[in-house]
Chains A and B, each alone.
Chain A
Amino acid sequence: MQELILIVVALPFVSALLTQLAVSRLGRKGVKVSIYAAWLTLAFSCAGIWLALNGADFKEFALSSAWGMIRFDALGTLMALVITIISLLVRVYSIRYMVEETGYGRFFVLLDLMSGALVLMVVAGDLITLLVAWHLIGILLYFLLGFDTRSKPAARYAFWTWITYRFGDLPLLLAAALLYQAFDSWSLSVIFEQIALSPQTKTVFDLPLVEVVGVLVAIAAYARSAQFLLHTWLPYTMSGPTPVSALMHAGIVNAGGFLINRFAPLFVETSGVLHWVFIVGLATAVIGSILMLTQNDIKKALGYSTMGQMGFMIMECGVGAFSLAIFHLIAHGLFKGTLFLSAGGVIGEARKNDGVPKDSLYDFVIEKHPAKIKKPWLLMAAVTLVVPITILFFAHWAVAEDFLQKQGAIVLLFFGWITGAQLIFSTYRMRKQNPGRLFMMVIVSFVVVVLGYTLISHAFDQFLYPDEAFRLRLYTAAGIDVFWFDVLVVLVSAVIVAGWLRTYYNERKAGSADNALKPFSIVFYALISREFYVNDLYSWLTRKLDAMALKINIWLRWI
């Protein structure tokens, strides 16, 4: 029965071919083929995940001797289901949304091909198939983003995506070549078995193979998931059609998290790579969030929001919470997909009615009038800090009593704490008729979210990595020395508490300017308004290289 996975891979490609034929004969009605195929693919994906949940064994299918291997496993079936759901929604949405566009049929063919390439990537059983799918996704995304062939900005930003993706393809290719040379096989199963047997294998310059390959795989993941310095394409690719933005933000950018999970048997043997992954993820999460908050263009803000979320996902991998990263990417995919697909409706509604109520919320958000605070600020500061940490602590304790032994869990606890505190603080600032009721609603929502998140991520852990010893080894691989970790925990706790107390204090003294920080704030604002000059740097570099190539060509008389 595991053969079902072959149908899930093949259907979108067959659909692309049939859709092209149907459109050339029937016109726009021909895209129905793509929709029916998407429903059918979803049905087979559901059957696949049902099999995996019922304990069907891992199985591989070889389509040829050298490559073309498809694997049936928990991670592949789960990701295939997510991809088929999102691509079905995008296709159904596109039926009406794209109807006035020229190249209507071509759009559906490209969507079919993209779904096929994405599914192929998640179920690839060997490195060549993985590389082929990985490359194809970049190519297809370029053509989807540049779908409107009259629009030069769309083509320009599609090119940014293209070149970043190509940059990310190459480390993965290098990693594949190194693994092949070390173990004389392209098969992922064989390679992972060999790594488990001889994790100390050396490679070029007598370096440890797992560390070198781990770094290369991580770089490939960074490019795909828009990590800092390789992120510039993401906020600028909004010139493409909205369904493509939805597919990209909900599915394609998540590939980095998937890739790290796919190579989990390799990362478990590394000693320092995951720390680096954590740092890059953390930097991206923080920078993405800061840039999101300072945008005045809603679409760019959404782009930076995705960047921040991707940073968070990569950071989860960096602390050893691999399955949590998968849960995160699914949750974010559904949430962000919904946002993009509802954007058209929101714009339509906003054209009729700006929908901004001129009440206390309007005063707070638009007019920037702070709410009057009547509650004792110290009490509220204490509640803000204590409530989320208590809820998070008990939620984690409910699924694993020994969670305090896992450094990764504690790091995530900290992030949950900050998020929860931010939520309660926002409530504190809002002026409402019944603040007590609102406050209780927020806390109940927070409990539901945290419990849901913790329990579901625990279920993901059991499903994706059923071997408890392996899970513990992942956390160990991501861990640092206990003494330094404890020092960091104390330090970070002190910074958080001090930060929140200061925030409350400032809020209490609302209206009086804090001049001590002003010059620094202006410089910082200038920096973030130019998006840390990363785009400027790349543009300058491109111009210089272009000019240099031109100069050489003139010297050599263009021959």
Chain B
Amino acid sequence: MQSYIWLLAALFLPLFPLSMVFNSVYQRLSMPLIRFVLIIAWPFPGIWILHEGNTQAPDWLIYWALATALLYAFRAISVKEVTMWSGYLATSAWAMGWILFIVDDGVNELSFHVLSFALPLAVMSLLLGELIHRYESAYAGIVSGVAVAQPRLSGLIIMAMMAAIASPLFPGFFSMLQIITTLVITYPLVTTGLLLVWLIWSWSGIRLLQELLVGPALPVKYRDISRARAVSYGSLIVLLLLSGLYLSGVLL
């Protein structure tokens, strides 16, 4: 019975190969708002199962979670489609939640961790909706030169990407710092693996960003997003920053 609980939890807090279910569903969705909801909601059944299960997870799950995090981070290197990349990043980040859960046994902190990565990606899904509306694609390389043609939208995508790859002052940064501080003495090699995952996120994220944004402007159907819309999305980014500062007080 216990194995079924772990498997079910591993479906929602995705571990490979069950992670393929989430990625398959996420890639099939076309409405940004549904993606927004899915990326926030998906991991919570997993957290609830772990909470209700009330049992100690086996240690080997740490290595499975690390392998998943590394696999999806590594796979993200060759991805050009930003929605697909978001799904991979979410999978990689959520897998780390298992490690935190097993080592620290804290379900509340697990929720913070999961949200700290889900929220930036949720904001990113909305911005990608705007991008697809304009270019009919979010495929880096086919779409390029967005920074020249759509400066406001580009600025917001940059900020969302920074938040997604756990840059300072965004919640992901403090979440990563807490995981690493918790693990460093008991699991130094796992910690090194997590640092590698973080490095690969930065690699794939920035490469994707520059393929999307840099270059001469392409002809585009619609103009840049309106000032009012930019302020709305910008407020979400500011909220992310504030939640990062709040999280630093809670976790550290």
A residues within 8 Å of B by Cβ?
64-67, 128, 131-132, 135-136, 139, 142-143, 146, 149-152, 155-156, 158-159, 162-163, 166-167, 170, 173-174, 176-178, 180-181, 186, 203-205, 545-550, 552-553, 556, 558-559
CB within 8 A of B74: which of A67, A151, A173, A549?
A549
Shortest A88–chain B CB gap in Å is: 25
From known contacts A67-B248, A174-B191, infer whether A546 and B78 are also in contact, taking CB-CB under 8 Å: yes
CB within 8 A of B249: which of A64, A149, A181?
A64
A128 touches B75 (CB 8 A): no
Shortest A133–chain B CB gap in Å is: 8
A170 touches B198 (CB 8 A): yes
Shortest A163–chain B CB gap in Å is: 6
Report chain A residues within 8 Å CB of B167.
Answer: 135, 139
Shortest A95–chain B CB gap in Å is: 22
Q: How far is B147's CA from A131's CA once the two chains are assembled, in angstroms? A: 29
Report chain B residues within 8 Å CB of A67.
Answer: 248, 252
Shortest A501–chain B CB gap in Å is: 50
Q: How far is B116's CA from A471's CA once the two chains are assembled, in angstroms? A: 45
From known contacts A139-B162, A150-B216, A549-B78, infer whether A174 and B195 are also in contact, taking CB-CB under 8 Å: yes
Q: How far is B215's CA from A552's CA once the two chains are assembled, in angstroms? A: 29
B184 touches A178 (CB 8 A): yes
A546 touches B214 (CB 8 A): no
Q: Could you list 27 examples of A-B contacts with CB < 8 Å?
A: A65-B249, A66-B249, A131-B168, A132-B173, A135-B173, A143-B158, A149-B213, A149-B214, A151-B214, A159-B207, A159-B210, A163-B199, A166-B202, A170-B198, A173-B180, A174-B191, A174-B195, A176-B181, A177-B184, A204-B184, A204-B188, A545-B77, A548-B74, A549-B74, A549-B75, A549-B76, A553-B75
B27 touches A181 (CB 8 A): no
B77 touches A132 (CB 8 A): no
CB within 8 A of A552: which of B23, B74, B195, B214?
B74
Shortest A16–chain B CB gap in Å is: 14
Q: How far is B180's CA from A178's CA once the two chains are assembled, in angstroms? A: 9
Q: How far is B252's CA from A156's CA once the two chains are assembled, in angstroms? A: 36
Shortest B91–chain A CB gap in Å is: 10
B232: interface (CB < 8 Å) = no
Q: How far is B168's CA from A67's CA once the two chains are assembled, in angstroms? A: 13
CB within 8 A of B210: which of A155, A186, A548?
A155
CB-based closest 7 A-B pairs: A149-B147, A549-B78, A550-B78, A177-B184, A155-B214, A549-B77, A132-B168
A553 touches B248 (CB 8 A): no
Report chain A residues within 8 Å CB of B188.
Answer: 204-205
Report chain B residues within 8 Å CB of A549.
Answer: 74-78
Report chain B residues within 8 Å CB of A135.
Answer: 167-168, 173
Name the CB-closest residue of B to A117. B168
Report chain B residues within 8 Å CB of A159.
Answer: 206-207, 210
CB within 8 A of A173: which of B148, B169, B195?
B195
A203 touches B75 (CB 8 A): no
Known: A150-B214, A159-B210. 6 other contacts (CB 8 A): A174-B192, A174-B195, A177-B181, A545-B77, A548-B74, A549-B75
Report chain A residues within 8 Å CB of B181.
Answer: 176-177, 180-181
